[in-house]
Amino acid sequence: MIGEAAVFAERAHRGVFRKGTDIPYITHPMEAAVIVSAFTDDEEMIAAALLHDVMEDAGVTREELEQAKKSLEKREIALNEAGSIAVAALQINGVFEAAQEGVYGPSSHDCLQGD
């Protein structure tokens, strides 16, 4: 989320400089994000610090900002689902590997062979 907010803010402020300097304006929201991150690790708060001037100073509309947020939320949901599937696959694979190594004791196949 923070990375996406930083990219969005950079694009919105691209080509804009701090008043009377040649310092890119994006340094201001990035400094604000650093300050906020010293007090909290809440990603939404840090992202808000990065985005706090995009509507006022960069001409981004509320609709554009809301659309970007929805897009990000969809990607996060997809990543979470993919991550859950990957974890489940790893857990299943671990069970199969453990069974092959006999970690769970003799298998039903071993019991049927009748040594």
Q: Quick: pLDDT tens for 46-70.
A: 888 888 888 777 788 888 878 877 7
pTM for the whole thing?
0.59
Establish how many alpha carbons lie within 13 A of residue 94's alpha carbon, considering only the half-sphere containing its beta carbon.
6
Distance of alpha carbon 43 from alpha carbon 23, whole angstroms: 26
For residue 17, what are the β-bridge partners?
24
pLDDT at position 93 is 55
Residues 40 and 54 sit within 8 Å (Cβ to Cβ): no
